[in-house]
Structure 1
């Protein structure tokens, strides 16, 4: 370990911090005339703007021309950035476009503006728009694209006789950029043709750099734009009404009206303070059901609560989620904050190379009894990053959870260093301190990740070492006391056929040492992925593996297959099946056979209506036995009618066959812009209490165990 730390320190010393100069530029034409966002493009500025037409593919292959011609133009004024796209299609009737909720249009045709507002190659905002003007926005940083952010911007789209047109307005208030003149930003323009699953971009991506976008953006200079000190206030009113079944009838559980206020203040155009007073941390849709039995570690649920979403990519550290078997997924996972009563965030850039992020939340743990005081947990998180060459960085992180006399603190450093066009080195070195009724314990986690990606070949290596007592109560950690080495190679084969367009052949291997029981385990996998026709993919893989659990080594080998695709513009689906050797996790574990599978399908017979169905299956049979130890099935149906881009109504039915429970959800949602919303929801939970009866149709009827509705109204004031 000592040599490992010395090597990482040396790596940081010899990498000289610098930022790319970005000599290649695009031109945006400044205008002092108003631009109406209507996808008509009749303003004079669009005739003056430079047309950019040299779009080439990067998926499924690099550098290919497509018959779908694209023209993009850029403009701006003192307060906004403007973009116009004319997307020609020789078969316009095959363009896929639907009126969906915000963020729900990725299966359609679309354009995307990839924008690095600081042009520091550390992160970018992606603004997606489909042919009807439906939006999606994401934040890309450290190799991960986060779709949870919601910025304020405007778009319009319309179908034409030979394709579609999109027009976009991005207020500078919605971006974090340097306080200088001119303001330089990085841009990559993109279009997706859904029926052939082809992505085209301008400028062209370098095959030697693979899909590493950040170093490949072109610079755009914006002269004499306003530098805002943003102020936003979102007052919200919520009301929750919930009943629970007690002693044979539904009785009042609680009626809770509430007021909240969320504030955002831009100290500079690049440094923002957020505060929430009695915040609304509710999520408007229940998490989809997951198989929650026979688990070695807790299930992962994504964050959906608005306050925690913006800026969370800043807390992603290097060399996490580095392989299929990586135990350390997240150091900061805010779903561990269950019932927060207040929160503060401070995020932004101190100068062109240094950035910070601070998060604090107070979590209400409730009372142990009616006579004890209410207890709270406090979550302080601090993150510092220093930009290195290209998209590299070196960082520091502190995260903690303090609850009375118990506490968990994690502190450490990490880095991402670009070695060459295609190769990145990442590492983290963390120390933890845990205090509780057992005393105080210190431990560590170290990770090293070397990975390379090009057009034809990918490879990766990882080294991980996690101490027995390492804990990160603010994160998501699946295992401790393990040392691990992994390797991956992937070869990509391209064809000129319209049927089998590309094959990916991949091999992955890991060796892990369980330090609790001093035993080795391995996971070896070979897979083949075929891209068939325009939208179909088929993947099959076999893994030869075993796993250490409570001192025993169990066989976990198995075979997997999956297919996904789309038919015309109205149907898409996927099927996954697995048959594996598995472990029954208990105090007396044993091996067995598990069959697992899932089916999902989405139908969009009309542009404003969507129905989605999914079925999840999992079973387990002890080796040598004839009967199933358990069979677990979850069926979920979601129906959505979208009146326009702002208003939809949605119904969800989810049946859990294992627990014999039926969940119903009904939601009316009006989302004008992020922050200005109205939600009205209703839900109930029915349960068959007699294990020997079918859910419905037997002598014992299902009982409504819970019922409730909620209302939320909020409004964004922006200055």
Structure 2
């Protein structure tokens, strides 16, 4: 193993040299401008840069801006701040340079910093640094359509992070923060960075083979360059931006007059070989059984038909889930848990399928044998197709040996400068009388720069082996206002009882939901202790589909008031208080009964006043002030209904205490760790007895030998206990009855303990070596570690290489 690590470390030197602070400051000293260099001051509105084309750049990507080509390259400077204060001069000086050849675009940035040791940089694996490090971000709008751009990010040590800026999608939309970036795609590009005593320099090369652009002889590209200073959370950009414009891409600068760009022949072949050895505890035999070594081969092929149209094919795509899904608390969860896609074939180029409601969920393709994907843009039309043969049984006929044929199609047309309209079609077929099909139309319209209207209408048809098919419909609409200070959004959706999205993910059907939110931000002046603060108000109502159209009262409703404060030094505090109301009709309980201690069974219908005016309060602290230690804490106290998961009706009320805490540690440049815990407990209001408790501590530690090679270990313990459902008055057992028989709604308990370790070598996306081991154990008593029984284990190896022509 020692020899293997040494060899990989040596092989990785070409990935980009990393230098600690103070070791080399020559890059900054030699970053001067030649006599022909033209300066473009973003703060002065100098945002159109004539295409800086050169025949041969002869640039080595090593973080030192010392080649002759850089001396006469255009200099992009005059950065202004956009976060937390808009429009004021940048706190630190930044200069960027850009060059293009016929097959690549090059960037070089010198980022000065007048605070000694103020630059934050962690040597980590790809896509790992996020908000923890200083970084420079390039956003390249190759179609100059203000709708989609390539995001290229690099930290001061050259560590890469990339994605797609997708207007109207991407980002963490549910929590309403962060830019609209889809972080799933991985592109092939080169980068390097060096830290010197007064800041850092980075160099980047993005081959045209890695990006799509129009097939025309003359074109313009949109461009934005941003810098993030991690210690104070400041964001600064070359092209000034304001939140008063909903689409930030409209405010980008432009590279003009780009001629004869040529990606050349684009063909990638990516064979993948995996080996695994599994083991599991055989409860019948009372012993742990290990299987033999299992090998699996797959392959991905990508062909660039043109510079703006790409065809992908896959055979037996690798799941590539080298890190297990983090534990989720399930003791009082009413609906299915959402798990993110992690398979490379289904991650890249599928952003076109993003919709206001998730009608396309690629993880519904469980075990694909083969798949194909076509994506691109021609003129004002974006098109995407995804097809697969899924080796999975029909849920309605699990005993039959069938395959699902999946076809997903999306077409979207640009309208005006920032709006669009489109359609989506999904088809999942097991046989002529067993299928699910969805057809939808959607649009996103921007009005007066501030306002955005989003619409979606879809219909489904499903057959499950009978002559009669089920037809359903879905409607969704939202209106939102963007602004530096005042924002609001109001919207809702209605899903009929028989609507099915066999290729999508919808937590509930047969419901209608309306939501609204309004907020206002007060902003301080530069240097103020309080940089930003503001209140917010939210309201929500939920009906059954039939009640909504019959204009009945909502089944569930809530009102929430909240507020947030951002302090100087990258500290944020926010909190909220809400009141919730639940109203369920008697027919929602038709399948529930109560059984007394004497065995007397009665129909069960709780007093609905129990579920009126339930309160909840949350407070959250986020601290990113310190170089070596950062973290966050959330605490929630609420009155929570206890639901029967089958009928989805509330049975009782509990006092809930929940929270989570996460501590991020950076002892050295190479070593990082995350220590976290999630906890929730529910106590019955009737007598204070415990209904459920869940605690999930998790430790994730990683040592990065260089940018390509790391060793990671994850330890997680999940203790989850749920009691029986009892009536809120006498404490009788609640039963579920169906077809003349009843059974108790009993509790459950699990104490899972898992350990994972992974050695990963990935010099470029698609070229990887993984070797990992995982073991899951069951503790007979929570956190006792006295009678621990192994439940499953696995050893796996993955080898793949990305051949590029």
TM-score by length of 2: 0.82
Q: Deviations over 1:241-263 (max 9, x none)?
A: 10111123221346320111110
Report if the CA contact (8 A) 2:393-2:399 is conserved: no
1:402 aligns to 2:493 (yes or no): no
Task: State the alpha-carbon separation in 1 of the partners of residues 543 and 399 from structure 2.
Answer: 45
- Secondary structure of 1:195's counterpart equals coil
Which residue of 96, 103, 106 corresponds with 2:120? 96
Q: Does 1:686 align with 2:777?
A: yes
After superposition, where does 1:142-161 map in structure 2 within 5 Å? 142-144=168-170, 145-161=181-197
Q: 1:281, 1:533 → 2: CA distance? A: 43
Find the aligned partners of 1:547 and 1:384 in 2 and give their Cα distance.
40
Tell me if 1:359 matches 2:386.
yes
The aligned residue for residue 478 of structure 2 is 449
Whole-angstrom distance in 1 between the partners of 2:254 and 2:351: 23
Question: Judging changes above 3 Å, is the alpha-carbon distance between structure 1 residues 56 and 437 closer, same or farther for their aligned structure 2 residues?
Answer: same
CA contact (8 A) 2:350 2:384 kept: no
Matched, 1:70 2:94: yes
Please tell me whether residue 417 in structure 1 is matched to residue 445 in structure 2: yes
Q: Provide the aligned C-alpha RMSD in A.
A: 2.1
CA distance in 2, matches of 1:511, 1:78: 56
Q: Which residue of 2 aligns with 1:657?
A: 719
**Cα distance in structure 2, aligned partners of 1:467 and 1:601:** 43
Q: Distance in 1 between matches of 2:362 and 2:785?
A: 42
**Deviation readout 1:376-398 (Å, 9 max, x if unpaired):** 22221000000011221100000
Aligned to 1:124: 149
User: Secondary structure of the residue that 1:335 maps to in structure 2?
Assistant: helix
Whether the 8 Å contact between 1:389 and 1:418 is mirrored in structure 2 is no
Question: In the alignment, is the contact (CA less than 8 A) between 2:162 and 2:183 conserved in 1?
Answer: yes
Whole-angstrom CA distance in 2 between matches of 1:536 and 1:230: 46
1:113 matched residue in structure 2: 138
The reply on whether 1:44 has 2:68 as its aligned counterpart is: yes
Is the Cα contact below 8 Å between 1:79 and 1:171 reproduced in 2?
Answer: yes
Map Cα deviations across residues 415-451 of structure 1 (whole Å, 9 max, x no partner).
0111111111110011111212574111111111111
Separation of aligned partners in 1, 2:189 and 2:718:
40
- Match of 1:648? 710
In the alignment, structure 1 residue 634 sits paired with structure 2 residue 696: yes
CA contact (8 A) 1:95 1:569 kept: no
Partner residue, 1:393: 420
Indicate the larger mover: 168-177 or 652-661.
Answer: 652-661
> Once the 2 structures are TM-superposed, how far is the Cα of residue 557 of structure 1 from its aligned partner?
3.0
> Offset of 1:695 from its aligned partner?
4.3
Q: Deviations over 1:599-634 (max 9, x none)?
A: 011100100000101101112122212221110010
1:258 to 268, 292, 296: 296
Question: Is 1:566–2:620 an aligned residue pair?
Answer: no
> Which runs of structure 2 are paired with 1:260-279 in the superposition (5 Å)?
260-279=298-317
Asked whether the equivalents of residues 126 and 137 of structure 1 are also in contact (C-alpha less than 8 Å), the reply is yes
2:277 equivalent to 1:241 = yes
The 2-side partners of 1:257 and 1:637 are apart by 30
SS at structure 1 position matched to 2:624: strand
Query: Aligned residues, how many?
Result: 681
Distance in 2 between the 1:547 and 1:397 partners? 35
CA distance in structure 1 between the aligned counterparts of 2:101 and 2:114, rounded to whole angstroms: 34
Contact 1:27 1:74 in 2 (8 A): no
**Whole-Å Cα distance in 2 between the matches of residues 204 and 522 of structure 1?**
41
Match of 1:590 among 652, 655, 658: 652
CA distance in 2, matches of 1:254, 1:548: 55
2:681–2:692: 8 Å Cα contact kept in structure 1? yes
Going from structure 1 to structure 2, the CA distance change for 1:28 and 1:216 (only over 3 Å counts) comes to: same
Are the counterparts in 2 of residues 28 and 49 from structure 1 also a CA contact under 8 Å? no
- Partner SS, residue 639 of structure 1: strand
Residue 201 of structure 2 aligns to a residue whose secondary structure is strand
Q: Is the 8 A contact 2:661 2:678 kept in 1?
A: yes
Any idea what the Cα deviations from partners look like across 1:348-376, whole Å, max 9, x if unmatched? 1122x0111000122212599xx966322
**Whole-angstrom distance in 2 between the partners of 1:258 and 1:375:** 21
Mean alpha-carbon deviation: is it higher for 271-280 or for 60-69?
A: 60-69
Distance 1:530 1:694, change over 3 A: closer
Distance 1:593 1:437 in 2: 45
Q: State how far apart, in whole Å, the 2-side matches of 1:473 and 1:345 are.
A: 19
Return the alpha-carbon distance in structure 2 between the equivalents of residues 367 and 175 of structure 1.
38
Show the counterpart of 1:344. Answer: 372
Match of 2:495 among 456, 466, 476: 466
Work out whether 1:622 is the aligned partner of 2:680.
Answer: no
Residue 576 of structure 2 corresponds to residue 576 of structure 1: no
Q: Check conservation: 1:179, 1:227, Cα contact below 8 A.
A: no
Q: Distance in 2 between matches of 1:383 and 1:697?
A: 52
Cα distance in 1 for partners of 2:654, 2:709 equals: 49
How far apart, CA to CA, are the structure 2 residues paired with 1:665 and 1:528?
39
Assess, with a 3 A threshold, how the Cα gap between structure 1 residues 82 and 582 changes in structure 2: closer, same or farther: same
Matched, 1:196 2:196: no
- Paired residue for 1:323? none
Deviations, residues 3-26 of structure 1 (Å, cap 9, x unaligned): xxxxxxxxxxxxxxxxxxx99522
Q: 1:477: Cα distance to partner? A: 1.0
Q: Deviations over 1:618-672 (max 9, x none)?
A: 1212221222111001011011000000000000000012221111100000111
Deviation of residue 402 (structure 1)? 1.8
> Aligned partners of 1:694 and 1:489: how far apart in 2?
44
Post-superposition offset of 1:121? 1.6
Do the aligned residues in 2 keep the contact of 1:274 with 1:346 (CA within 8 Å)?
yes
Tell me if 1:133 matches 2:158. yes
Distance 1:534 1:136 in 2: 25
For residues 504 and 49 of structure 2, the distance between their equivalents in structure 1, rounded to whole angstroms, comes to 41
SS of residue paired to 2:337: coil
Task: In structure 1, list runs of 5 or more residues that go unmatched.
Answer: 1-21, 321-327
C-alpha distance in structure 2 between counterparts of 1:334 and 1:23, whole Å: 43
Gaps in structure 2 of 5+ consecutive residues: 1-44, 171-180, 590-605, 721-749
Structure 1 distance, partners of 2:426, 2:127, is 31
Provide the residue aligned with 1:717 in structure 2: 803
CA contact (8 A) 2:714 2:757 kept: yes
Distance 1:277 1:548, change over 3 A: farther
CA gap 1:694/1:469 in 2 versus in 1, 3 angstroms? closer
The farther-off stretch of 504-513 and 568-577 is: 504-513
By how many angstroms is 1:547 displaced?
3.5
CA contact (8 A) 1:214 1:391 kept: no
CA distance in 1, matches of 2:789, 2:694: 21
Cα distance in structure 2, aligned partners of 1:254 and 1:582: 48
Q: Is structure 2 residue 213 aligned with structure 1 residue 177?
A: yes
> Distance between the aligned counterparts of 2:83 and 2:339, measured in 1?
30
Cα distance between partner residues in 2 of 1:512 and 1:604 = 44
CA distance in structure 2 between the partners assigned to 1:68 and 1:282 by the alignment: 40
